[in-house]
Amino acid sequence: MTAQPNPEFLRRAVALATRNVLTSTGGPFAAVVVREGKIISEGANSVTTTNDPTAHAEVNAIRAAAKALGTFSLAGCELYTSCEPCPMCLAAAYWARLDAVYYGASAADAARAGFDDAFLYAELRKGASQRKLHATQLLADEAWASFAAWIAAPNKIVY
């Protein structure tokens, strides 16, 4: 069960997002990861300064929290983000096993500012063969070898 949301953590994310813009460090997005009422990590969008299209605020904050806590599971933590997460960041929140996500601006607000994820949401609803990004499966039988090795591995860490 998640704790009651604390607006101060969201205010921190919004302040970081605004600072990110004013310092020309990146886009208007920032996030903080909180556990037991304390900020574990902060992250701001750094796509343009790092030339990394995955360097969204939420992903940066999740990576920093996992490193700080020494674990790949952020169960017991919440994410406060200045804007509703894009599909990639939402998926990262699920993979991190976060307990909750609290956001300020909506996806519609982001679209008004020129950040429109509607295309991505529409693409994800399509089958692989109908998507704009061409994707074709190759070497399926050979590729299964890594999964067979995983299944047989006695010392695997399940995540």
The tokens describing 142, both together, are 């050979």
Helix (H/G/I), strand (E/B), else coil: 131:
coil
Q: For the chain, how far is it from start to end, CA to CA, in angstroms?
A: 21
Q: Measuring CA to CA, which residue among 37, 50, 27 is closest to residue 6?
A: 37
Residue 145 has φ and ψ, to the nearest 5°, of: -55, -40
Longest dimension (CA), the chain: 52
109 by Cβ neighbours in 10 Å (0-12 / 13-18 / 19+) ranks as middle
To the query of whether residue 123 is one of the catalytic residues in this protein, the response is no
The tokens describing 36, both together, are 């037991």
| Catalytic one of 58, 78, 123, 142 | 58
Q: Measuring CA to CA, which residue among 137, 64, 123, 126 is closest to residue 88?
A: 123
Query: Could you give the residue numbers annotated as active site?
Result: 58
